[in-house]
Amino acid sequence: MSYELDPLPYDYDALEPHISEQVLTWHHDTHHQGYVNGWNSAEETLEENREDHDFGSSAGAIRNVTHNGSGHILHDLFWNSMSPEGGDEPTGALADRIEEDFGSYEAWKGEFEAAAGDASGWALLVYDSFSNQLRNVVVDNHDEGALWGAHPILALDVWEHSYYHDYGPARGDFVENFFEVVDWEEPSARCEQAVELFE
Known binder of ligand: residue 6?
no
Domain 21-80 CATH class label: mainly alpha
Order of strands, edge to edge, in the sheet holding 150-157?
133-140, 121-128, 150-157
Quote the CA–CA distance of 175 and 154 in Å, as a whole number: 13
Query: Which pTM value belongs to this model?
Result: 0.92
Known binder of ligand: residue 161?
yes
pLDDT > 90 in the chain, percent: 91
Q: What is the mean pLDDT of the chain?
A: 95
User: Which CATH architecture does the domain made up of 92-198 adopt?
Assistant: 3-Layer(bab) Sandwich (3.55)
- Domain borders along the chain are 21-80, 92-198
Contact in structure between 188 and 97 (CB atoms under 8 Å): no
Known binder of ligand: residue 140?
no
Per-residue pLDDT reduced to its tens digit, 60-103: 999 999 999 999 999 999 999 999 999 999 999 999 999 999 99
Known binder of ligand: residue 27?
yes
